[in-house]
Amino acid sequence: MRISSILGFLFLIVVGTYVSTLSTGCANIIPPSGGPRDSLPPELLAVTPRDSTLNFRGDRITFTFDEYIDDPQ
């Protein structure tokens, strides 16, 4: 009985090593494609303050686009 438990343990180690060795070779290491090329420019939806505003005293002008615009700051 002792020999069969040792053989079972060795069998599990051999199978575990074999499976772990094969599973590491499955991955194809390449960078992701990134999806389709973005060829359309962002569209301006709104501006605050409105166009032709006179005597604007604010400290901020806001542009709203239809997609995310990266902030260069």
Whether 4 shows a pLDDT value over 90: the answer reads no
Q: What is the pLDDT of residue 57?
A: 93
* Residues paired with 47 in a beta bridge: 63
Measured between alpha carbons, how far is residue 21 from residues 7, 8, 28, 29 in Å? 21, 20, 15, 16
pTM of the model: 0.48
pLDDT in tens, 26-57: 667 788 888 888 899 999 999 999 989 999 99
Average pLDDT, the chain: 85
Higher pLDDT, 19 or 35: 35
Amino acid, res. 10: L
